[in-house]
């Protein structure tokens, strides 16, 4: 029986559990979540979503935890191997013939998925297995890297430290590696002649979801593959068109975006409230941050060594022998997450720190263009040459881009896919519903 294989790829420090909510929604619509990799499901266990082809969901597991430190290339090669194994497992069961393939990546998983697609393309897997490549989707994926924009000393220091923090993966995310002809991997992956780019062109539909606020680790410009950020510091003033039936969460980016006229009334803060806020900041800076930094440094050093050993072993086994050069020519711990978010916000552009559309944020100052009413997409960011190249090349593909407006929780990066149960993640449920209704099964 023919079936549709849907592959889900988690992000940095991720586990298959990060897709529990998405998997539950797929299961509600009749898809089978393939957890027991020792066997294949029987036809009676699998239904077709929306009455269509039977759907089997596979969550890539080979890069869980600190294995994501091993680099986008190593992680992507692992995922490609897992996909091939799953294709063989199902096709050889006698019950199934996989004829349709969709892939969705969350955060770093989007980049890993793109590399895996390149490996599959170079090995001609779609042709060998007679696969119809249906949809490719990324959720909050840093397609343009994670470099914090700006030229201040603090920003430069942060980007330097960030480059050293997560072994090969951090060098690639901060665009400091030299993958081919002194070009970073993420830039090379956008070359029209590369297997990664060519592989993407084979999908019927390529889509992305990008947070417009409350995602310091994966800002709008990198998640949406854009040279501008119309939402920085002003997402609460944005007037846009929401996709019908999915507002006020999923923005229709094909429609104009404007800043609404707005007047903020100055708010007075009580003395004791100011003292309490100051005490919280000092506690974070003087106690939590130093302890976390020491632990992080020790752990980063250990994980770098462990990752180097894994990568050498992986390559020595011949798993990276495939030539991918051109042919001819989060949870760590929740407190750690909070500290990382705080660090990003401290060094990010000042306007980004002025978000206020979730509980507890401060109002936007009047001198921050709060009364402007004009299109915002022409505000260019100070991207370097590699970033500009990535944006230019990837935008040659027919992306369906969706802005996501998370307002009920500060951790928009996790909320976008409901990475774990939380009351404030209800808007992420809307995002998942939109993906199921309009992208995966349209």
* Per-residue pLDDT tens digits of the chain, which is 442 residues long: 999 999 999 999 899 999 999 999 999 999 999 987 778 899 988 988 877 899 999 999 999 988 999 999 999 999 999 999 999 999 999 999 999 999 999 999 999 999 999 999 999 999 999 999 999 999 999 999 999 888 888 888 888 888 877 788 999 999 999 988 889 999 999 999 999 999 999 999 999 999 999 998 899 999 999 999 988 877 777 777 899 999 999 999 988 877 666 555 455 556 677 677 767 766 765 766 666 566 666 766 666 666 667 656 666 666 555 555 554 343 344 445 555 555 565 555 544 444 444 443 333 333 333 334 344 555 689 999 999 999 999 999 999 999 999 999 999 999 999 999 999 999 999 999 999 999 998 6
Q: What's the token pair of residue 339?
A: 């500290």
Domain that holds residue 291: 2-440
**pLDDT at residue number 293:** 60
Q: What CA–CA distance (Å, rounded) separates 310 from 59?
A: 22
Return the pLDDT at 319. Answer: 57
Sign of the alpha-carbon torsion through 218, 425, 291, 272: positive
Largest CA distance in the chain: 72
E-state strands within 202-315: 205-211, 238-239, 250-252, 258-259
Residues 6+ apart with CB under 8 A from 410: 214, 341, 358, 360, 361
pLDDT number for residue 182: 87
Looking at residue 367, what is its pLDDT? 37
Place of tokens 């100052």: 365
- CB within 8 A of 178, min separation 6: which ones? 184
pTM of this structure: 0.81
* Closest among 389, 90, 371, 73 to 234, alpha carbons compared: 371
Cα gap 231→355, rounded to integer Å: 9
Task: Quote the tokens at residue 158.
Answer: 């942060």
Into how many domains does the chain fold?
A: 1
């Amino acid at each position: 029986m023919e079936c549709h294989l849907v592959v889900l790829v988690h992000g940095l420090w991720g586990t298959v559990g990060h897709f529990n909510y998405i998997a539950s929604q797929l299961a509600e619509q009749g898809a089978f979540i393939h957890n027991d990799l020792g066997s294949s499901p029987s036809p009676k266990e699998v239904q077709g979503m929306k009455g269509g082809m039977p759907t089997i969901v596979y969550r890539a597991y080979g890069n869980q935890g600190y294995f994501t430190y091993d680099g986008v290339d190593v992680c992507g090669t692992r995922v490609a191997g897992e996909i091939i194994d799953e294709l063989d497992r199902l096709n050889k069961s006698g019950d199934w013939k996989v004829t349709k393939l969709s892939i969705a990546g969350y955060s770093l998983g989007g980049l890993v998925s793109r590399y895996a697609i390149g490996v599959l393309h170079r090995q001609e897997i779609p042709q060998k297995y007679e696969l119809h490549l249906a949809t490719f989707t990324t959720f909050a994926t840093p397609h343009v890297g994670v470099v914090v924009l700006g030229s201040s000393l603090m920003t430069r220091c942060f980007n330097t430290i960030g480059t050293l923090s997560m072994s090969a993966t951090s060098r690639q995310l901060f665009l400091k590696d030299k993958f081919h002809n002194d070009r970073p991997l993420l830039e090379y992956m956008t070359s029209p002649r590369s297997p990664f780019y060519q592989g993407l062109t084979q999908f019927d539909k390529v889509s992305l979801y990008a947070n417009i606020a409350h995602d310091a680790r994966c800002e709008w410009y990198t998640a949406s593959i854009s040279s501008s950020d119309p939402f920085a510091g002003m997402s609460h003033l944005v007037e846009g068109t929401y996709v019908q039936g999915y507002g006020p969460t999923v923005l229709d980016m094909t429609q104009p975006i404007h800043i609404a006229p707005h007047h903020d009334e100055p708010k007075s803060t009580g003395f004791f409230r100011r003292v309490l806020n100051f005490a919280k900041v000092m506690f974070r800076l003087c106690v939590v941050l130093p302890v976390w930094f020491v632990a992080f440094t020790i752990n980063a050093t250990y994980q770098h060594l462990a990752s180097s050993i894994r990568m050498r072993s992986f390559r020595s086994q011949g798993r990276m022998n495939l030539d991918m050069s051109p042919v001819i020519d989060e949870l760590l711990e929740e407190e750690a997450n909070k500290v990382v978010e705080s660090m990003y916000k401290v060094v990010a552009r000042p306007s980004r720190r002025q978000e206020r559309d979730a509980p507890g944020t401060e109002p936007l100052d009047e001198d921050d263009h709060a009364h402007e009413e004009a299109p915002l997409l022409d505000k260019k960011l100070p991207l370097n040459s590699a970033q500009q190249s990535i944006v230019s090349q990837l935008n040659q593909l027919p992306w369906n881009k969706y802005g996501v407006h998370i307002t009920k929780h500060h951790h928009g990066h996790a909320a976008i896919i409901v990475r774990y149960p939380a009351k404030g993640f209800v808007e992420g449920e809307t995002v998942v519903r939109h993906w199921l209704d309009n992208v995966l099964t349209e």
